[in-house]
């Protein structure tokens, strides 16, 4: 998952591994937002920062990356003189119960960044791109890569008051569906498909990444925005 920091221009995709939770979280701060108390739960080399230009088709020029593998596999051109063709790597991390509730299947190799955030305004927005090596072969299969952005904290009175409790705001636009390969895809089941009916929806948000000279993953989403009042 690639998450927004700010706009910039760079010649290629550069990904730098980091296990410094505070540095990663604070790089997401925008105007009117204060972030603190960051905690990173991820395998070694599973998280870091990135810089990219728009030729990569990410649509986000820099920010953080959380992977289920390792950051050293994200950029196709990370090693001079070679080009990576895949990012399948078992980093040994455990799964995540919240992600499992979205996926519907057991999860493994989860990465998470947790932090406190205080926005001055009345809305918090977070721009991100979800990508997966499971596209297109495992679309509608029992291996459902998924992303969540979970919110806990006070809920505005106009929404009923009380508190948010693990509210996932990373959803497919105009739906209540979480973002994953079984909810955003090309509309075609993969050869390992076992689940009927998950294809054919939300194709407008899918981007085939085949042939991309910069990013290794086979497919992903356009830039999406998680929003919370």
Higher pLDDT, 38 or 91: 38
Tens-place pLDDT, residues 126-176: 999 999 999 999 999 888 899 999 999 999 999 999 999 999 999 999 999
Please, which pLDDT band fits residue 30 given cuts at 50, 70 and 90?
confident
Q: Which of 75, 38, 34, 43 is nearest to 56 (CA)?
A: 75
pTM of the model: 0.90
Q: What digits encode the pLDDT tens for the residues 163-182? A: 999 999 999 999 999 999 99
Q: What percent of the chain has pLDDT over 90?
A: 69
């Amino acid at each position: 998952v690639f998450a927004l920091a700010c706009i910039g221009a760079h010649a290629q995709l550069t990904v730098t591994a980091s296990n410094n939770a505070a540095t990663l979280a604070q790089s997401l701060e925008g105007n009117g937002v204060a972030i603190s108390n960051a905690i990173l739960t991820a395998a070694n080399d599973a998280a870091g920062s990135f810089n990219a230009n728009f030729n990569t088709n990410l649509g986000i020029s820099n920010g953080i990356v959380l992977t289920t593998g390792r950051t050293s596999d994200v950029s196709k051109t990370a090693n001079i003189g070679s080009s990576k063709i895949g990012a399948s790597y078992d980093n040994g991390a455990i799964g995540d119960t919240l992600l499992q509730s979205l996926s519907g299947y057991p999860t493994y190799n989860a990465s998470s960044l947790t932090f406190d955030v205080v926005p001055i305004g009345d809305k918090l927005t977070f721009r991100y791109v979800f990508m997966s090596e499971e596209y297109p072969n495992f679309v509608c299969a029992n291996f459902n890569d998924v992303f969540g952005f979970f919110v806990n904290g006070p809920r505005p009175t106009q929404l009923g008051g009380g508190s948010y409790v693990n509210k996932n705001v990373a959803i497919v636009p105009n739906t209540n569906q979480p973002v994953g390969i079984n909810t955003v895809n090309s509309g075609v089941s993969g050869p390992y498909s076992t689940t009927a009916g998950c294809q054919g929806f939300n194709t407008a948000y899918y981007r085939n990444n085949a042939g991309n000279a910069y990013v290794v993953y086979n497919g992903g989403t356009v830039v999406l925005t998680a929003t919370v009042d």
